[in-house]
Amino acid sequence: MDTDRVEVFFVRHGQVDFPSGVFYGQMDIPLSETGKRQSILCARRLDTLDLDAVVTSDLSRCRYIARHITTVPKERIFEEERLREIDFGKWQGKSWEEIDESWPGEMERRMSNLSTYRPPGGESLSDLWNRSRQVFEGCLEGNYGKRVAIIAHGGINRVFMCKLLGMDLQNLFSLHQDYACLNRVDSYPDGVKVLRFANCTCHLEGL
């Protein structure tokens, strides 16, 4: 590969075994059986990429993919608490309807100001970026000419790509992230970031 860039593959975990419409955030919830199959197929795809290192959220739904990667030595697979999904605070484990009932109007306030709004006891998207950006910067340092995978969550992947592409965080949901998808961003020494592809799920075909 070209030695003038770092290829970073952002990966989302597989489908979770949890009710839809509930904000699970940093809860360490399990994968569904489909999610496990997705994760294994995703790991097989990552095995073909000649990766130099893998950094994964320490939550089990992300670690499951990392555990099934066979071409990266274990000492080059790193768990990172700072890659956890956004902390929803007191909203964690609650549905949209429950939040609306207990905190009337607050969800609308969050959706109109995604960058800085914090749920009670939780984080804003800017907080999420500030705690995770050093992980990404560490993946770039000294790694030009290499490939690195970051296995994380839908929210954190969207925040990374928004920031790296100069998009406002208010446009976060314009970037869709399917379960077990791959995204690739190339980073160059002059600071230029290039999105090569996003939300790729071709490795899941036939599942």
Residue 1 lies in a domain: no
Residue 191 lies in a domain: yes
Determine the structural domain holding residue 163 and report its residue range. 6-204
Number of domains forming the structure of the chain: 1
Overall pTM > 0.85: yes
Cα–Cα distance measured from residue 101 to residue 120, given in angstroms and rounded to the nearest whole number: 14
pLDDT tens-digit profile of 18-53?
999 999 999 999 999 999 999 999 999 999 999 999
Q: Is the pLDDT of residue 150 over 90?
A: yes
Residue 130 lies in a domain: yes
Residue 104 lies in a domain: yes
pLDDT tens-digit profile of 118-149?
999 999 999 999 999 999 999 988 889 999 99
How high is the pLDDT of residue 67? Answer: 97
